[in-house]
Chain A
């Protein structure tokens, strides 16, 4: 996830619209400057989640960055966007930023359906890496009674050994007991050996 990106990689955010939400006006200005540096031409700034709800009801955006002093407000906004907001914005990537990442906050942010939580201190490079990671996000979308958002498992290694998975598509990592005797080395060699084929 934190793999370095080559400075030579070309990116184009000129047609990307971002909704920036921060209840601290100074923080909002700083975030806006950074995002403008990345090349985003269209940003909508909201001073509160309530204001942002109004924006989301009127139009769709390509990305949302949210930071509120109260963790609950950031999480409530994301939960609303995922469940009650217009369908056009339900799947929009959302990054929650925070200056104070207490354990409770991280758990709440993960469970509200945010795509990513970025904790400070942070540099523009880190923020850009996270945005670029979202463009390659391979996680499936999950919708159930208790959760709506990207799969919270960033890496899916299947259910723990010896346990049945909770999802229909889960496969156990346990390979079980061999049903046939091991192959001879000569059999393996034959499989790998290039053979002339008559066409």
Chain B
């Protein structure tokens, strides 16, 4: 038992949200979700455009291979995963997630491996070009990316 846990205070808190949600009026859950789905659909075209721009920026970083550029890859990939994760982007989301894993592990180990990043970025471009096709080719590509990440993880 730690001193900190001895001094712990525990009490009930009721968020204002709990009362507001029960107020008369509002809408049915089905209607709320349908409205949110429709709003999301309206954003899809600009989101896909944003994914294209993001991949272009990753490609530029891979071409430059600058010292500071490597640190920019993770936040860029995380933002792409954030946007892609709102939509049905299948292999794109999984590939960009893999890029996040790769760069996080490389960063933690203080290493840089531009070739592995480059393979990921090329895969992202291919997925965009094929319209997020989730066929056997995409699966094989994602398996390859996973093995790359495992290799980086296992490296001393």
Question: Which residues on A are within 8 Å of B, measured CB to CB?
Answer: 5-16, 22-24, 26-27, 29-30, 33-39, 62-63, 67, 69-70, 91-93, 97-100, 102, 120-125, 127-128, 131-132, 134-137, 140-146, 150-151, 166-167, 169
Question: Which residues on B are within 8 Å of A, measured CB to CB?
Answer: 1-5, 7-13, 15-18, 20-30, 32-40, 42-43, 46-47, 50, 74-89, 93, 96-97, 100-101, 104
Q: With A and B bound together, what is the CA distance between A137 and B29 in angstroms?
A: 19
| Cβ contacts under 8 Å, A134 to chain B | 15, 17
| Cβ contacts under 8 Å, B10 to chain A | 140-143, 151, 167, 169
Of B2, B9, B46, B104, the residue contacting A102 (CB under 8 A) is B104
User: Quick check: A11 and B21 within 8 Å, CB to CB?
Assistant: yes
User: Quick check: A144 and B85 within 8 Å, CB to CB?
Assistant: no
| Cβ contacts under 8 Å, A131 to chain B | 17
List 5 contacting pairs A-B, 8 Å CB cutoff, sorted by A.
A7-B30, A37-B33, A70-B75, A99-B96, A120-B82
Name the residue on B nearest A120 (C-beta).
Answer: B85
Known: A26-B47, A69-B82, A142-B8. A34 touches B18 (CB 8 A): no
Q: With A and B bound together, what is the CA distance between A144 and B8 in angstroms?
A: 4
Q: With A and B bound together, what is the CA distance between A91 and B46 in angstroms?
A: 36
User: Quick check: A24 and B5 within 8 Å, CB to CB?
Assistant: no
Known: A102-B101, A121-B85, A144-B5. A69 touches B75 (CB 8 A): yes
Known: A62-B17, A63-B17, A141-B13. A12 touches B7 (CB 8 A): no
User: Quick check: A27 and B12 within 8 Å, CB to CB?
Assistant: no
| Cβ contacts under 8 Å, A14 to chain B | 23, 25-26
User: Quick check: A69 and B79 within 8 Å, CB to CB?
Assistant: yes
| Cβ contacts under 8 Å, A124 to chain B | 33, 36-37, 40
User: Quick check: B21 and A7 within 8 Å, CB to CB?
Assistant: no
User: Quick check: A37 and B38 within 8 Å, CB to CB?
Assistant: yes
